[in-house]
Amino acid sequence: MHFIKYAIAIICFEFLFWYLIFIIISLPSMAFLPLLSWATEEHRSRAKKILSIPILVGMFLFGTLLPALFYSGGIFATTNYFMKGASHPMLYAIIGGLLCFWCVAPSGETNLLAILVSVVSYILYMTILKTFGQSIGDTGFGIVDWILAILLPLLLIGLIIAFICWIISKFRTNGKTISESKESLESDG
C-alpha cells in the first residue's frame, strides 16, 4: 500500500510539474527567443556574435537548468518522504533516480542536458544535501496539506451549492412545463 501511495504521489507530481510548474518556470526563457533570432540573422556583426553567448547562457539557465533542478527536487522530495516509512528504502531511491533519468516531456521531447542535470542534482540531493532537501520536502508537503485542508471544504461547499442550484433549476423547468401544459389545455378546451 505504501508503494501505491508513492506511485500516486509521483504521478500527481509529474502531472503538476509538466502542466503547471514547468510552464511557469520556463516562461523567462521565452524572452530569449526573439533575442536569439536577432543574433542569428543574416548579417551577423561582431556584436551579435558576442551577444549570442549570454543569450544562449540565459536560455540554458531558464529553459534547461532551472526546470531540471525543480524536477529532480520534486522527485527527491517525494521519494525522500516515502523512504521514511518504507521497508526497502533503497528501492525508492533507485526508482527516484530512474525517474530523473527518464525526464521526458508529455510531448515525448527529451533533452540530454536536462536529463544529465536532473540525475546529477538528484544524486546531490540524496547524498550531500539530504538534510537541506528533507526540510524543503517537509515544507512542501506541509504546504500541500494546508492547501488540501482549505480546498477540500471549499470543494464540498461548492458541490452542495451546485446541487442546490441544479435542483432549483429543475423545479423552475418543471414548473414552466406544467404551466405551459395547463395553458395549452385551457386554450384547446
Contact between 48 and 55 under an 8 Å Cβ cutoff? The reply is: no
Residue 143: CA count within 13 A, CB half-sphere: 7
For 6-65, the three-class secondary structure string (H helix, E strand, C coil) is: HHHHHHHHHHHHHHHHHHHHCHHHHCHHHHHHHHCCCCCCHHHHHHHHHHHHHHHHHHHH
Contact between 101 and 119 under an 8 Å Cβ cutoff? The reply is: yes
pLDDT in tens, 106-161: 666 777 888 888 889 898 888 877 666 566 667 766 776 777 777 778 778 888 98
Q: Which residues contact 139 (CB under 8 A, 6 or more apart)?
A: none
Using CA atoms, how far apart are residues 14 and 118, in angstroms rounded to an integer? 14
SS3 content of the chain, % helix, strand, coil (to 5): 85, 0, 15
Residue percentage of the chain with pLDDT more than 70: 83
Average pLDDT score, the chain: 81
Q: Report the pLDDT value the prediction gives residue 137, as an integer from 0 to 100.
A: 64
Q: Report the pLDDT value the prediction gives residue 22, as an integer from 0 to 100.
A: 85
139 grid coordinates: 515544507
* Ranges of the chain with pLDDT below 70: 1, 106-108, 130-137, 140-141, 144, 175-189
